[in-house]
Structures are given as C-alpha cells and as structure tokens.
Structure 1
Amino acid sequence: MLLVFFLMVAKSVHRIGPTEVGLVTKRFGRKLPDDNPIAFNREAGHQADLLMPGMRMKWWPIFTVTKFPWVQIQAGEIGVVISQVGRSLPIGAKSARYRTEFGTFTDLRGFISGGGEKGVQRPVLPPGSLVPIHPVGFLVITARHVHGLPVAPEFAALARGGKLVAQSFKLDPKQLEVAVIAPHGTTDVIGLVTTLEGEPLPSGDLASRIGAFDDIVALETDRAVTDAQVIDILMGTKNGLHNNYQDFQAFLDAGGRIGLQHDPLLYGAYLLNPFLVRVELVPMLVVNQGQVAVIKSFVGLPTLDTSGEEFKFGSIVAPGHRGIWQEPLRTGKYAINPRIYAAELVPTFILTLNWANAASQAHDLDARLEPIVGKSREGFIFTIDLQVQIHVPDARAPKVISMVGTMKNLVNEVLQSAVGNHFRNTLQALEAVKFIETREQVQQSAHTAVTRYLAGYEIETKGVYIQDVVFPDELVAVLTRREIANQERATYKEQQAAQTARIEMEKARGTADMQAELAAAQVSVDINGNRAQAREAQAGGDAAYTRITGQAEADRVQAIGLAEAKATEALGVARAAGFAAQREAIGEMPTALVAVAGAVAEGKINVVPDILVTGNGSSLDGLAATLMRKLSPAQDGQPG
C-alpha cells in the first residue's frame, strides 16, 4: 500500500517549466455539454484552469496533466487566434466580436463570461508575445507553428493528416508576417486594402469610405473652400479611427464595410489579420515637375457637370463627385487608390512628337508614330520625317482628357490622322520639284493648319518642322545631276574669280617691284607738269602779247587799207567818169586803145611775152591776139 501511495504521489506531482502550462484533464465526473470541450464546473474532460509554472499537484489517476509551451510569437510574425469555445457566431459573421477585457486571451473564464465567440478572433498577437494561452480553448496560428490542441470537429479533421500548419487553414506563411509597406527600389508604393468582413456596400458604390462623403457635402456649402482644399481632405485618410485596420473591431464599429477601401495604407509595419484584411501593393501616384494628373473619379457624390452647355465632351465635376475633376493634381506624391481614382498624367512642358523611326527619349507617346508617306502630283513617293511640338496648359488638361480620353489617344488617334492627312494632301497637289523648292512654305502652311485643328482640343501648337525628306531614287538622280551642274558652274566662277585675283596680285606684285621707278616717274611727272604749266603760262603771255600787238597792227593795216581803198575808189570813180566822157567824145574803140596804151605805159601789160609761141603766122599774130584779148570788153560792159 505504501508503495502504491508513493507511486500515486509521484504521478500526482508535476513540475511545470517557466514557459509552460499544464493542461489538466479529469477522467471521472459529470459529462460535458455536447457543444463545450472544456469543463468549467469540474466535469470530466479538459479543465478550464491551467497549471502555471512551478511544482503542482493533481491526484493521479483522477487527473492527468499534459504540458504545453506558452505561445511565443517570433519577431516579424503575428499570431492569429482561433477560439474553439464560446458562443456561436451570428449568421453571416466570419469573425468573433472582440471586447477589450479579453486582452490577449489568457483568461479563458473571462472570455467565456464576457460573451466570447467561437472562431477567428479579430485582433492578432503582436511579435514578441509570450503568453500562457489555453491549448484547448484557443489555437494560435503562426508562420512556423500552430499552437494548441485542435478539438473542434473542423480543426480535428485538419489535424488527422498530420501536424497542423498555416496551409491547413488556407493561409500562406507570408500572410502571417508583419505587413511592411516600404519603397520598392526607387518606386514609391502604397497598400490597397480589401476587407473581408463588414456590412455590404451601398448599391452603386465601389469602395468603402467611413462616413461616406458627407464631409464633402458640408464643405461645398462653404464658398471659401477651394477645390485644392477638398482634394486634400479626400487624399487624407480616416485610418486613425481604427489604427490602420489593425483594430478591426474599431473599423466595424466606425461603420467600415466589406470590400475595397477608399483609404490606402502608407509606409509602415502593420499587424493585419489575414482572415479579415488583404493588402495589395501598388505604385504611388507621382506627379513630376512639368506634369499634372487629371483624375477620373469612379466614387463620390453624384455627377454634377460644371463645364457648361457649350462643352459637349463629357462631364467636368468638382472634386468629390463622380467624373473628371475640374482641378488637376499638380507636382507631388499622392496616396490615391488607383482602383477608384484613375489618374491620367498630362505633360505640361513642350511636348515633342516625332513622326520618325526613332521615338522620343523623354516619353513614349510617339512610339507608334511612323514617317509620313505621300505621293506627289506626278506620282513620286516621298517619306517625310516630321516633328511637331505641342503644349497642353495645365488648367485645360481636364477638358483635353475629357475630349480624347488619354494622351496616347490624342497622339495616335487625333494628331496622327490630322498631320498625316495634311501632308499627304499637300504633296498630292504639288509637283515633286515644287515641293522641294517650297519646303519652307509647306512647313509654315502645316503649322497654320495644325494650330487651327488642335485649337479645337484646347491644345497649343508650338512648332511643326520637316526634319528629313526621303526622295525617290529617280528624282534623286535628276536632282543630283542638276546639283553637280550647279556646283561645276560655281566652281568655274570660283576659278575665274581666282584668276582675276591672281591677275590683281601679279599687278600688285609688279607695282611693288617697280615702286622705286614709279616714284621717280611720279617725280618726273610732277616736274614736267610744273614745266608744262610754266610754258603754258609763258605761252599765254606770248599769246596775249601777240594778240595785243597783232590787234594793233591789224588796226593800223586796216586804217591804211581803208585809206588806200578810199583813194583807189576815188581814183576809179574819177577814171570811170573820164572813160565815160572820153567814150562820149571819141567812141568806144579809140577809148579802149588809149586805155591799153596807158596800161602798157604803166607797165601793167607785158608787150613781149615770156614764151614766144610761133605758129604758121608771124610773131605779130601772137601779139595781135594778145592785144585783142586785152581789148575785148568785159561781160558787164566795163573796159578790161
């Protein structure tokens, strides 16, 4: 008997380690209710009270004691608690309501008396937790272990195939780690939250925002509030109401609903229950300098168009309403949910688009643009590389997006057809050579046409430039020959100019070489000039002297001549009067003979000729003939 007593005592004393608990099982007693695996009133079965660390005694064979380690949560992990005891969950519920008095679930009696429910508990155990949790009352799932003894039928079935692990509950071990939101390299990210429990969303809503948009309605009544201030409130989150979804009970109590959430998570580490919260990392909206983001909102207050009746391309709305916001987002980083707010980045710098095989480096909007192919009037096919520069004013960006949808649509659908058709039509109306000769005019015409066209889309045209033109081979051959001829002509002109310059150079060289002689010649020229001037002056003086003396002599001779003429005239008149009187007295013939005799006497008539001419007659005939000629009367009847 003594031996049996010592054996009973030995089996009844239990040493519970410092991080252990002792699960007491009673073999004999009242039967437990069917829906409760734990005895709270000394019934047979697993007892609600655990043995804490130390030397403990439970009489064997009435009680058995099984040691279990305290639940320890490793760093970087969380512990999800599943209760195997308590009230049943309400219909439709996926998790148990939590009360602050439940703490970390170490007080099983307090949990049951406080109305604890079976199933997944909403809070999780944080990293570093080391707690004595009842192994039958609760299962604790971590990334590496499942703590506890599954007794509920559904959990016992999971354990039949072997040891329970996270995958047994359809969880990835990564879901049982602390959710860390941090930049991915150089990419800023945010966490989009989807909750798996709560009241359903109102009809037509895509995401849950605590309090809906009642705060925006209140702001719209204040005329002093600007669109930018409304946007700040919308971008601000209400995550402080539920500690960033970590206090899921507070989330539900504040009116949070199931489904996609309006407010994302920012950088940080979060203890999120994977049965209730799912997080998806997406890039943050980054609006760089030289850009604006036009927001298309799919949630918010009903659409209320503010664009006016003249705008026929969709609805422009105030921030907080469904539609395209009239105020774009400017330079900055925005934690905005892209599932419910679609952002279209619009460049507001001078945007260069290339119709060429090489795309721009600053953007990829012209990746689908190709060189323009057109045909001239004669049928020559041209390939034109074109560059167009446009500008979208930031204040007009919402209207531009409302008209074209996206910037890619603007380039690929609007600009590509407009610009390409303009150049094809222009080429078709011109001869090939005419196009080449009037390229600048064609470019200016294209600038005018594109400017007028894009003005209808609220876009400014800054430039249209023909970069390169690929001509057909046959036209290139003709132009090449023409250009060669032009170049040869220019070469000949250059050669001619060179020879002319050479002549001038040789002349200059000769002049330089003869500079001394030229100087002497110049001095000689100056001396001779001076001498010529002296002689000219002397000749002038002599001429003047001669002119004066000649004039005097002429005057003297003229006076003498006039006197002699007067005397002769008087003598002639006297003679004429005498001849007339003589003729009257003696007749004409005798008067003539008297005159001849007088003339012979004065010596005016040679009686003996210088040359004696003889003929058949005597010398008297010659003398007689001479006398007869002298005596012949003059034609005017005057004596000879």
Structure 2
Amino acid sequence: MGVAQVSYLVGAGVLALLLLIVLAKSIHRIQPTQVGLVNKLFSFRKLPGDNPIAFNGEAGYQADMLMPGTRFKLWPIYSVSKFPWVQVPAGEIGVVIAQVGRPLPIGAKSARYRPEFGNYGDVRSFLGHDGEKGVQRPVLPPGTLAPIHPVAFIVLTAREVFGLPVAPELAWEEHENKLTAASFGLNPKQLSVVIIAPGQDRDMVGLVTVLEGEPLPSGDIASRLGGFDDVLALEAEGTDAEIIDLLLGSKNDLHNNYQDFQAFLDHGGRIGLQHDPLLYGAYLLNPFLVRVEMVPMLVVNQGQVAVIKGFVGLPTLDTSGAEFKFGSIVRPGHRGIWQEPLRTGKYPINPRVYAAEIVPTSILTLNWASASSQAHNLDARLESIVGKSREGFVFTIDLQVQIHISDTRAPKVISSVGTILNLVNEVLQSAVGNHFRNTLQDLEAIRFIETRQEVQESAFAAVSRYLAGYEVETRGVYIQDVIFPPELVEVLTHREIANQQRATYEEQQRAETVRIETEKARGTANMQADLAASQVSVEINANQADAREAQARGDAAYVRVTGQAEADKIAAIGLAEGKAVEALGLARAAGFEAQREAIGELPTALVAVAGAIAEGRIKVVPDVLVAGGGSSLDGLAATLMKLLGDGGLGLSKPTVVEAEEVEVRE
C-alpha cells in the first residue's frame, strides 16, 4: 500500500472519527423531566436590544427548547445544556423572575401579569403579550411541574433555584457553586405557603403589609380598598353596630386574599399596611410583594367590653357633648374613641390601626395588700397602706375596693384615664391611699380601732364621690386587716384578756343562774303531783274556812245577842246583890262597932271568928297540922293567928301530918 493510500485511509479515518464525534455531540437524550437549552454559537445575526434569547436564529440562547426525547442539534454550531423542569414541592411556592421582556415602569417593583402568561411555560407568548422583566406578581403553586425556559425565567423555591442567571451581580455560593434563595434576599421560610391557624391557646390573624402600589393618601397609615366612603354613606341611616360590621367585614375577596396581586392593584390597593387582615387559611403570597405578621385575634370575654381607639377613618367628629372634657368620643369609622364598644365575641381586627382596650364590666376587686387578685393583675402594684395616727403610731392597712364600669360608660372611662391600669395605679391608688392616711392622721390610735366601721363607711363615701367623676361606680370599700404597732398591740392584748375574763365570769354567772333555774324547774316538775294536791287541798281548806267563817259569824252574832241579854240579866242581879251586900256589910259594921264598944276588941274578934266558922268560911282543920307535945288548942290558936295574919280565910281541907314524920328544925 502506497503512501497516498495510507494518507487517504488516515484522512478517511480522521474524517469518520470527526463525523462520529460531531454526530455524538449533536445527538442529545433529553430525560422526561428535562429540557434542552440550545445555544447557537455561530451566526451572522446579533440579538436585538438587551434580551438574552434569540427568536430568529441569532447567536445566543434560543427561544425554542429541546423537549424530552432524542434530539439532534448540529455540533459545534449548537450546544445543548440540560435543565430540570421546574418543580415546586408541597408546602412551597415558586417565585418567577423574568430575565426577558420589557423594562418595568419607573417606580414599579414587579411586572404586570396577564392571563395569557399562564405558568410562564411559553416564552414567545410572554413576550408577545408585552411581558415585563423582573419579579412576576403571581407565584407558582405547590405541585407545579413545568418546562420553563431556564434563561427567560428564574424560579425560586425554598430548596432550589431553577434557571440560569444572566445578571453578573448575582452572588454565588462558592461552597456549593449554585444559587439559593439567600442570593435574592430571601430566606427559605418566605418561600413557603403562609398558613394562619389557631395558636396553642389563642386565635390568630395575619396583618398584611404590601410592598408595592400607589402611595397612601396624606394622613393615612393604612390602606382600605375604596377608602371609607361606604361608611360615610351608611352613617345617615345605619346604626353603630351596622357600621362596625361593615368595618370588620373584609374586602379580601376582591383580590383573593392578596394572592391575586394584580387584582389588588387594579381595585385601588395601595402600598403599606393594609386595613383588612387575613383569617384562617393557607395563602400563596409573593414574598417580594406581601409580608404577613401573625398577631392574636381580639377576644372579648363575658364580663368585658373592648373600647376601640381608631387611628384611621373619617375625620374626628366629637359626639361626647360640651360637658365632657377628657377627649373625643366618635361614631365608629371616625378617628378617635368609638362611642360603641365591642361586646363578647372574637374580632379579626387590625391592632395596628385599631387599638382595643379591654374593660371589665363585671365587679372588679382590687387588693391593697401583698397578695394580688387571681382573676387579673391590675392590682399587682398596689401595696398595703401605711399611715400614722395622731400620736404617731404607724398602722399598716390591708384594703379591698370593688368598682364597676358600665359597658355604655366604658368609652368615656378610657377617654378619661387611657387604660384601666392607669385608672388603678394613677387614680385609685392615690385617692384611696391619701384618704386613709388623712383619716389616720386625725384620729387617735384607739379611736381608729373603735370606729373602724365608721372609717370604712366614710372611705366608701369619699371614694364613691371621687370615682363618679370618672364614670366609675364604687361597689364597696373594705378594711381587710390592720397591722398595729407592737406597743399598741400589747396594751390591746391585756385589755382584751381582761375583757375576755370578764366575759367568762359573766358567762359562768349566767350558767349558774341557768343551772339554778333548771334545778328549780326540775324540782317543780317533780312536785307537780304534790303541788296539784296541795292546790286542791288549799281550795278545800279555803272553802271550809269560808264555811267556818260564815258559821263563826253566825255564832258570834248569836253569842252577841244572847251574851248581851245574859249580861244585862247578870248586871241586874249583881246590882241587886251588891246593894244587898252593901246593906248587910253596913249593918254588920254597925253591929261590930257597937259590940266592940260593949265587950271590947278581943271578944268581938272571937265572936267574929266563931261566926265565920259557923258560916263555913274558915278551915277549922289546917292544911298542915303538926301534932307535937302541946295541946290541940295551941295548934288551933296558931292556925287562927296565921289566918288572921294572912288577911284571908282558906276553905281547903287540911293535910294531917303525924308528928313523928316531921323533922323540926331550929
């Protein structure tokens, strides 16, 4: 074989090898979830403008991509790069950034969206309908799987960035040599579905801040679609409750809860804080355009009202009247304190534009003591009241005050003091403390103790008058405990011990008295039968006595009559006998006198004795006759002499005593 043949064979082989190489590089196997990005390396045409994609055979990235399958693109005129389809996982969103299209209008931060764009899978349709560069307003929903041009659009997800950036200023992460969400100023959490759900112990709402739109009107701090013209129209005939329902009613249905950002702008949405919050749900929100902050929902429990301070709305129009000097009270929808509070319920209200002050309408108990109430912490800063008596004794008083705020007066209370905490700490604390300190200062220590009830009643009257000026009702002022000085406690202790001892003695005395009465009652009960018998006997005896008395009265009358008659008879007989005796005596006397003169005194006496013996008026035998050695005549003479010496005459029979039985003493 000659040199020429060898050269030919070598040339043919090289050519065949080159053809094989060209053929190998020109045939591309595109997987089912891939697209082939075609880059034309040689062309006499140049790309128009600043678009990086060629539509008419210009050199550069071609608009048409290679779909899954075996595809042929002649190398080295074309090179093909394989890119995965854009896939958005569940729970995430895809944010589309267009690198082709018209420039954004001045001041715009995102591109206008048209329905013809679809899911941005057709770059020709996008540009044909005046698509604009930059962040696209809609987001790709979870589960999206689409062959999106990797140069025309970059798609950001929480886990991956799809596409090929053409902007040289984009930062690359060197350790992985790929773009992430942080390269675009986002964190992965912002590329997740926004979920608003109840918290562990509270309900939540989402406050929306929009990053694009027309500026807010002067003086406004939040945007409400259509402003407050609807509120103004309802004021003429509507009630406050109807206006509140209108304000709390959301207009989010006009833009699908900020998910259709183009519709939001088309309905007049403005940049900044939004009036209407998001309620429970899952939302696909573009993090370049919408930010959401989770805050608790306004919950008004039973026994409470919420006084609303409106920072947005119609101009302030005071309805409180000229007598109220503590701020403006307005109808709902105006700036100021609403005259109608919110009652029991849950309200999706934006706390950035409507501040709600919870006012308890049940009886509120406040303790001036070391222990605070378990139902609230309004009295956490209240402490026991310390005051001095007139003598300088230091008292510590634990106090309890009960107040009540009517639901209809709650707006005026808040307008007066700002908050219920201010009412307690700034108004009540000073008023109650000063009253008790002044009262103590004017009283002696013992006087304060003795008139504690009067002091409490006086405090109730004083606090009631004071709080009435703030539209607050006082329901009670109670002295719970008084801590006395040690030296006063000692005196009071001794006094109390003495009082207790006295009370003990009195109780013992009463007990003894009761015991005596009990014993008496028991004895009386035991003698009831005898008592009844004695009472019957008394009645019988009384009746018999009455009978005897009656008989005695009869006998006495009879005796008096008969006695009188007998007396009269005896008197007559006695008078006659007396006259006879008198005559007889006179006669005897005259006889004795004549006899004495005739025979002498002794014979006269003997005659008289003989006469008396004869009449039987002289005892001849003596009472005691002693027979001695003399004669019986001597004894008789002695007896007679005795009778004469005694001046009387005995008539009794004499006692005879034998001489030998009588002991004669000298």
TM-score band w.r.t. shorter chain: 0.7 to 0.9
Equivalent of 2:148 in 103, 117, 133: 133
In structure 1, what residue type is equivalent to 2:55? F
The residue that corresponds to 1:613 in the other structure is none
2:470 pairs with 1:487: no
In structure 2, what residue type is equivalent to 1:411? V
The residue that corresponds to 2:95 in the other structure is 80
Distance 1:196 1:609, change over 3 A: farther
C-alpha offsets along residues 347-381 of structure 1, whole Å, 9 cap, x if unaligned? 11111111111111111111111111111112111
In structure 1, what residue type is equivalent to 2:39? T
In structure 2, what residue type is equivalent to 1:109? R
| Residues 451 and 461, structure 1, Cα contact 8 Å, conserved in 2 | yes
| Residues 389 and 464, structure 1, Cα contact 8 Å, conserved in 2 | yes
CA shift, 1:432, in A, is 1.5
CA shift, 1:466, in A, is 1.2
C-alpha offsets along residues 313-343 of structure 1, whole Å, 9 cap, x if unaligned? 1111111111111111111111111111111
The residue that corresponds to 1:372 in the other structure is 385
Distance 1:508 1:62, change over 3 A: same
The residue that corresponds to 1:603 in the other structure is 586
CA shift, 1:606, in A, is 4.0
Distance 1:604 1:167, change over 3 A: farther
| Residues 21 and 52, structure 1, Cα contact 8 Å, conserved in 2 | yes
2:119 pairs with 1:104: yes
Equivalent position SS for 1:427 = helix
Counterparts in 2 of 1:11-26, with a 5 A limit? 11-26=25-40
Distance 1:384 1:27, change over 3 A: same
* Greater Cα offset, 11-20 or 140-149: 11-20
Equivalent position SS for 2:488 = helix
The residue that corresponds to 1:296 in the other structure is 309
* Greater Cα offset, 92-101 or 38-47: 92-101
Structure 1: tracts of 5 or more residues without a match? 569-598, 611-617, 620-640
- TM-score calculated relative to the size of structure 2: 0.81
Equivalent position SS for 1:403 = helix
In structure 2, what residue type is equivalent to 1:192? L
CA shift, 1:169, in A, is 1.3
| Residues 600 and 606, structure 1, Cα contact 8 Å, conserved in 2 | no
The residue that corresponds to 2:486 in the other structure is 473
C-alpha offsets along residues 32-86 of structure 1, whole Å, 9 cap, x if unaligned? 2462211111111110111112222212221121111110000000001111111
C-alpha offsets along residues 297-321 of structure 1, whole Å, 9 cap, x if unaligned? 1111111111111111111111111
Q: Percent identity?
A: 74
The residue that corresponds to 1:615 in the other structure is none
The residue that corresponds to 1:458 in the other structure is 471
Distance 2:295 2:591 in 1: 160
Distance 2:546 2:148 in 1: 143
Distance 2:329 2:121 in 1: 57
CA shift, 1:532, in A, is 4.3
CA shift, 1:226, in A, is 0.3
User: Rg: which structure is higher?
Assistant: 2
Distance 2:500 2:189 in 1: 77
Distance 2:563 2:355 in 1: 125
Equivalent of 2:295 in 271, 282, 285: 282
In structure 2, what residue type is equivalent to 1:25? N
CA shift, 1:12, in A, is 2.2
In structure 2, what residue type is equivalent to 1:143? A
Distance 2:141 2:87 in 1: 10
* Greater Cα offset, 157-166 or 394-403: 157-166
2:42 pairs with 1:28: yes
Equivalent of 1:322 in 335, 338, 341: 335
CA shift, 1:396, in A, is 0.8
In structure 2, what residue type is equivalent to 1:9? L
In structure 1, what residue type is equivalent to 2:193? V
Structure 2: tracts of 5 or more residues without a match? 1-14, 594-599, 602-666
C-alpha offsets along residues 406-432 of structure 1, whole Å, 9 cap, x if unaligned? 001111111111111111111111111
The residue that corresponds to 2:632 in the other structure is none
The residue that corresponds to 2:66 in the other structure is 51
Counterparts in 2 of 1:40-439, with a 5 A limit? 40-155=55-170, 157-158=171-172, 162-220=177-235, 222=236, 224-439=237-452
The residue that corresponds to 2:11 in the other structure is none
Distance 1:508 1:316, change over 3 A: closer
CA shift, 1:496, in A, is 2.2
Distance 1:210 1:509 in 2: 97
Distance 1:421 1:253 in 2: 62
CA shift, 1:540, in A, is 3.0
